[in-house]
Amino acid sequence: MTVLEKKGISRIEWPQILGLTVFFAVLPLFLPKTLSMQILFYALLGLAFDLMYGYGNLLSFGHALFFGVGAYGAAITFNTITGNPLVAIGVGLALTVAVAAAIGPAALRRRDPYFALVMMAFNIFFYQLFVAPLAPWTGSDMGLTIRRMESFWIIDFSNKTILYYIMLAVAFLLMILIKIFMKSKYGALLIATSESEFKVESLGYSSFKIKYLSLLFSAFLAGASGALFATFLGYSAIDFIAPTFNIIIVFIALIGGSGTFLGPFIGSFIYIALTYLLTVTMGWHASIYLDGLIGLIIIIVMMKFRGGLYRYLYQLAKGIYVREPMR
Amino acid sequence: MDVTYILQQTILGLAIGLTFSMVAIGFSLTFGLSKVINLAHGAFYALGTYLTFAAMHLTNNFALSLIISTGSIGLVSLLVEKVLVNKLYGKDIDLSLIVTFSTLLVVSTLIKMVWGLDPKSVSPPQFLTTQIYLAGATLPVYYLFLATCSLILFIFVWAVINKTMLGRVIKAGSEDKDRVETLGINMGRVFTINYVFGGMLAALGGGLMAPLISIEPSIGSRIILLCFAVVVVGGMGSIFGTMLAGIIIGLSISYVTMFNAPMSEAAAYLVMAIFLLIRPKGLLGTG
């Protein structure tokens, strides 16, 4: 295991990760910090989704569940138990992984149409749980504002600039973690199960265990981005767990190119630009049309440009796109 | 919690369950025949309710409104099939999932643009708004009407699938499409007919449900997951399994409503999850 991970680290494409980190480090010079943070964490969420879809070929319409549970887990812990950010984010992560572990056996029972829609059904289940019976803790559909947040060690969490760079550092670690997972035996096996579960089984691996592990890792990533983003905002919106959020995740992963590392970052950037543009041109009504516009773009991308923007740009730059080095 | 209330909820559960299974059967047939997961089915249901509402506004005749909405959805589903869905035949399932889900969203947005966000309601004709008294319980006639209509339509669908040439072609095509094509049958046309038939059933189900629910733009995406739950519980491609599953889901929704109304739909998904764990192929499913 450790040997494999060491091998993995030596094969990580450092320029991609370092380039992204530098990019997000200078982004606050041009954009508000909240917006840059949103781009970063939506992209990580897109990567978590893409881990299942782009690599495992398991389409999920329910990753908003993990993002939302992470965000709410952190926010509720802040409000009721402790002001310590490490504990709160840890609780958010633990809750997310626990939820994924609980729903995994039912969701992963069968492949495509089942997995996608069962994930969405669980998402709606938890959404309704959060809106009504758990309303005293979750604040129902008004969202939840984090009321207290203590400084940790020497770090002042009320200073958004410092907070931004701490979050970026954590995101940097998460990106390395994704690369390690993809380069490890499990990443290869996940891709193999997408081709043929039967052949993977005949090699002596349990395809269910591989998918289950990937789901847990994917949930961990999504939960981490949710918990971190909620901590940064000081607020957890009901939109984070709403089933309608899923199509945005799909959009982010697909428009940039699923199965690529940089794709979700491009997609996330485009999503934020699109919302901004719509709000500027249409004002308050923009959110009504956003879903439909996103749907329309996804249809066009899926029917005509399945590779996504990243592959298209890569081909434009290098003349040919063979395949993502990770796959 | 008295007995009469339980009886009332049972009849309601049966009625909405049968309607769910009627909507689900089109979804199930499309998947069985053309291997396309048609999430746009929910859009036809939602459009069906909204068009019934609009036609009621114009004509004030419930039966006529149902016919108008079902007919127009027939045309809409034909258009969707010709423009979009027929490019999905034979492709990966995830492609059809994403594309039809996006179609559902586009249609919901169009509904929001035309009819706005606030919920609408339809009142059924006068003679169906009365109540009857059975064993001390008060039962709205509309529940019984809905259950009867759904049952009749269900028998009709069963007859079409099992007793007509078209039904035999659909059943054979679900098993082996290529071999049916070698018999000189244009499967593309059968796919289209099947799709439009399913879409019209969904619209009819939506129109019949319209007086019972508050009509909102999001009903399309809600019904499609309930349909899917019905299909999972009943088993893909089994007509009676779908009917039984519809009743199970409908009853679980109406019983949970008695205790905790906001969680009623979540109960249906819990039933689905349990079935996926203990019997993944469904009640009467084969594969």
In a domain, B271, yes or no: yes
Residues A90-105, mean pLDDT to the nearest whole number: 92
CA of residue B181 relative to chain centroid, distance? 29
User: pLDDT 10s digit of each residue in chain B, 287 long?
Assistant: 677 788 888 888 888 898 888 889 888 888 888 888 888 889 999 999 999 999 988 888 888 889 999 999 999 999 999 888 888 888 888 888 889 999 998 998 899 888 888 888 888 777 777 777 776 677 788 888 888 888 898 888 889 888 888 888 888 888 888 888 888 888 888 889 989 999 999 999 989 888 888 888 888 888 888 888 898 888 877 788 888 999 999 999 988 888 877 778 888 888 888 888 888 777 777 65
In a domain, A281, yes or no: yes
**What is the CATH number for B69?**
1.10.3470
Domain interval for residue A86: 3-318
In a domain, A144, yes or no: yes
> Which pair of structure tokens corresponds to residue B147?
């259950």
- Angle of helix B3-34 relative to helix B187-209, nearest 10 degrees, comes to 160
Residue A324: band (very low, low, confident or very high) from pLDDT cuts 50, 70, 90: low
Q: What is the pTM of this model?
A: 0.88
State the total domains in chain A.
Answer: 1
CB contact under 8 A, A128 and B262: yes
Is the pLDDT score of A16 beyond 50?
yes
CB A8 within 8 A of CB A179: yes
DSSP per-residue codes, B184-205? T--HHHHHHHHHHHHHHHHHHH
Lowest mean pLDDT among A112-116, A151-155, B2-6, B57-61: A151-155
Interface test with A, best of B30, B91, B98 (most A CBs within 10 A): B98
In a domain, A325, yes or no: no
pLDDT at residue A6, as a whole number: 47
Residues A271-286, mean pLDDT to the nearest whole number: 84
In a domain, A324, yes or no: no
**What is the CATH number for A65?**
1.10.3470
pLDDT at residue A325, as a whole number: 44
Nearest CA distance, B60 vs chain A (angstrom): 30
State the total domains in chain B.
Answer: 1
Nearest by CB to A121, from B98, B99, B229: name it: B229
In a domain, A304, yes or no: yes
- ipTM of the complex as predicted: 0.85
pLDDT at residue A322, as a whole number: 64
Is the pLDDT score of A235 beyond 80?
yes
In a domain, B184, yes or no: yes
Model pLDDT for residues B212-231, shown as the tens digit of each residue: 888 888 888 888 888 888 98
Average pLDDT, chain A: 84
Is the pLDDT score of A321 beyond 70?
no
Query: How many Cβ atoms sit within 10 Å of the Cβ of residue B148?
Result: 12
DSSP per-residue codes, B160-172? HHHHSHHHHHHHH
In a domain, B286, yes or no: no
Interface of B with A (CB under 8 A): 31, 37, 84, 87, 92-95, 97-99, 101-106, 108-110, 112-113, 117, 221, 225, 228-229, 232, 260, 262-263, 265-266, 269-270, 272-274, 276-277, 280
Domain interval for residue B261: 3-278
Distances (CA, A) of A183 to A15, A175, A257: 16, 12, 19
CB contact under 8 A, B280 and A292: no
Nearest by CB to B105, from A117, A124, A291: name it: A291
Nearest CA distance, B256 vs chain A (angstrom): 13
